Amino acid sequence: MGLNLRMYVRKLERQPGGLKILVLTSAMSSGAVTEDLIRRNAEHNDSEIFSLEELSLHQQEIQKLENIDKWCQDLKILYLQNNLIAKIENISRLKKLQYLNLALNNIEKIENLEGCEGLEKLDLTVNFVGELSSIKILQRNIHLKEIFLMGNPCADFEGYREFVVATLQQLQRLDGKEIERSERIKALQNYPVIEQKIREQEKAYCLKRSKEKEEAERKLQEEEEKEKQKENRNNPGFNERSYTSIDNTIPYSLLQEKDNQQPALEEKKVSEKTPDELDKEFWEKPTLFTPESRLETHRYLVKQRKDKEKLSDRKKKQKPPRTLITADGRVLNINEPKLDFSLKDDEENNQIVLDLAVYRFMDTSLIDVDVQPTYVRVMVKGKPFQLVLPVEVKPDSSFAKRSQTTGHLVITMPKVGEVIVAKRKACKPVKNPEGNKLQEKKGSKEVEKLEVDPSKYSFPDVTNIVQEKKTTSGRIQAKPQVVPCAEDPDFEDNLEVPPLI
């Protein structure tokens, strides 16, 4: 039997007082065989149900078989193990059915299989078949070669194997063991005695089952009453009002207080236990192996699942919204979906490129992109990814696209303002490399000349001026000084002026 990984798998808990069989429950099962359920499990046949030859509906919490013989009449293999099916019904029209697996269900009687003319293998492992004589209806299934009844109450009957071998003479294997010819001859010889023993054991089992059913019904009623009382305590209404007795001396609420005191104390003790302790107590409690115990386990798991869903809904509601922008206007960097990303500054094209590693098979409708001048925000399945940009960009000219190979989201955002970038490679001449060397030499000479030649400067160089006087003193002749003499008619001798030396 295959296991579906979507199910909540539990182990068997063995206790001294009994065995508790746990149900493998599905998180999405409804308990009924619907057309949608069959189509979901018919993907290998392009979801066509009328031409199906193999169908697997195991671990779906199915409690009643219906509609399969109407919609899937060409079935050859049908898997229904590990459900809650209590009766074999509505499959008699499956004339082509060869293998039927009903292991781990609540079946107590073999019935309604006469119409399955092509049935070759029947698996009823770990059910509750107590009426072993009900296998006589399988005498009409002449192609039946193998049957599994291990794990059923009837398998513990004295003479069980001999009775089945003698009753179903077309069988070749029983419970995985081959039936030998000598074994069948011996079983046929002792058949009347074996049949009598089987009938006596069946009667004893039926009496035992009737008691178990009565006990299970009583427990179920008690549980329902406890649940109602609990709801009344949690939702006080008319019963909580105060009334007075006939003599108008004792309030009516006090008269009921004594009656409710004991259950209230028990309820208080139970409420003091943690959920883990209650769960452990349930699974460790000794329980008989009956259809009712499996249904009880199923109800418990369903209740647990609902409680978890309610708790998760409360947490979602109570969770405060994430702060994307602070009160003072500062934008935060956030990566709640925990995605890898890279931010590239494309100077050549004057743009910013963001590559966000979105999940490959995610639908694009679950992604929302918002580009602002200073930051970019991407909502992935409601989780924000926000990044502050190094420069200001143009939101109106930005665009986003997804890679068809990797699924990555690429957002291209042009920068604000145009920057002229010289493309030196395109301007360099490549044809005459020798001419380039000559130009470089000339350029270097001009640079040296600029540093030495004073005529290229627009302001005077004091160093050069001083040097000019030293170097040109021999070349530039000074004008002769005119010394006045006494013979000059314009000469006036002033005695106060000291003589020139």
**pLDDT band at residue 244 using 50, 70 and 90 as cut-offs:** very low
> How far from 199 is each of 208, 212, 310, 346, 469, CA to CA, in Å?
14, 20, 51, 89, 146
**DSSP-assigned states of every residue in 409-467:** EEEEEEBSS------HHHHS--S-HHHHHHHHHHHHHHHHHHHH-GGG-SS--HHHHHH
DSSP β-ladder status, 18-20 and 54-56 = unpaired
- The SS3 assignment for 120 reads coil
- Residue 55: exposure state from Cβ atoms within 10 A (0-12, 13-18, ≥19): buried
pLDDT for position 269: 54
**pLDDT band at residue 11 using 50, 70 and 90 as cut-offs:** very low
Mean pLDDT of the chain: 77
With a cut of 70, say whether residue 480 has pLDDT above it: no
DSSP β-ladder status, 99-101 and 77-79 = parallel
Give residue-wise pLDDT tens across range 196-216. Answer: 999 999 999 999 988 888 888
Strand-pair partners of 412: 353, 399
pLDDT for position 447: 47
Question: What does the CA dihedral 377, 380, 383, 387 come to, rounded to 10 degrees?
Answer: -30
Range in 2-11, 177-186, 336-345, 404-413 with the lowest mean pLDDT = 2-11
For each of the domains in the chain, give its residue range(s) and CATH number, in order of start: 35-209 (3.80.10.10), 334-414 (2.60.40.790)
- Residue 363: exposure state from Cβ atoms within 10 A (0-12, 13-18, ≥19): exposed
pLDDT for position 489: 66
DSSP secondary structure code for residue 481 in this structure: P
Range in 110-114, 318-322, 347-351 with the lowest mean pLDDT = 318-322
Q: What is the arithmetic mean of pLDDT over 216-238?
A: 73
pLDDT for position 153: 92
Q: Which structure tokens are listed for 16?
A: 């001294």
**pLDDT band at residue 482 using 50, 70 and 90 as cut-offs:** low
Percentage of residues of the chain with pLDDT beyond 70: 69
Give residue-wise pLDDT tens across range 257-272. Answer: 555 555 555 555 555 6
Give residue-wise pLDDT tens across range 391-438. Answer: 999 999 999 999 888 889 999 999 987 555 544 554 455 455 555 554
> How far from 337 is each of 341, 367, 378, 407, 464, CA to CA, in Å?
11, 12, 10, 15, 73
**pLDDT band at residue 6 using 50, 70 and 90 as cut-offs:** very low
Q: Which structure tokens are listed for 128?
A: 């509750």
**Cβ pair 167, 136 in contact under 8 A:** yes
Written in H, E and C, the secondary structure of 52-86 is: CCEEECCCCCCCCCCCHHHHCCCCCEEECCCCCCC
Half-sphere exposure of 110 (CA within 13 A, CB side): 27
